[in-house]
Each structure stands twice: as structure tokens, then as C-alpha cells.
Amino acid sequence: MPQNLHDFFCTNVRRRRLELGMTQAQLAAKLGVAPAYISEIEGGRNSPTITTIDRFAEALQINGAHLLTPPLEKISQTG
């Protein structure tokens, strides 16, 4: 179970990506990064900046604050 903001972000990115039916490669293409970077983020091996969190939120069609909250079963789409 995630314990801190970094863990919440990593878990929520993966969950939201899967909810949208996106692959890591598709999300990477939307962000203009390598698929390996998405893997690093989701695996907790890379720490995002605030700017990066905003970019992920936009690509995942979700409010950035929701990416930093304790993971729920499903992340709903919010503006």
C-alpha cells in the first residue's frame, strides 16, 4: 500500500493509464518521452517535478491533485 505522495503519484498514474486503456508507449507518446520513463515513474524509480505532475495530469485527463491522493479503487475524471 502506498505510504507517501511519491508512492501515491506512481500508483495513481498507472491506475489512471489503465482506466483509459492506454499502454505505457501511448502515454509516453502523449508526453513526448521514452516509454522507459513511464516505467520508471510507475515503478517509483523516478521522482516527478511539479511541472511533470501537471503534464501527466493533462495527458491522463485528470486533476493533478488526484494523482497525489491516496489511491482509490477507481480514479474518476475531473477537471
* Closest C-alpha among 41, 71, 47, 43 to residue 59: 41
Give the start-to-end residue ranges of the domains of the chain. 5-66
Give the cell for residue 74. Answer: 477507481
Of 11, 14, 7, 12, nearest in space to 66 by CA: 12
CB contact at 8 A, 44 and 7: yes
pLDDT(2) > 70: no
Q: Which tens digit of pLDDT belongs to each residue from 17-62? A: 999 999 999 999 999 999 999 999 999 999 999 999 999 999 999 9
Q: How confident is the model at residue 75 (pLDDT cuts 50, 70, 90)?
A: low
How many other β-carbons are positioned within 10 Å of the β-carbon of residue 62? 21
Report, at the CATH architecture level, how domain 5-66 is classified: Orthogonal Bundle (1.10)
Q: Which residue has the higher pLDDT, 76 or 40?
A: 40
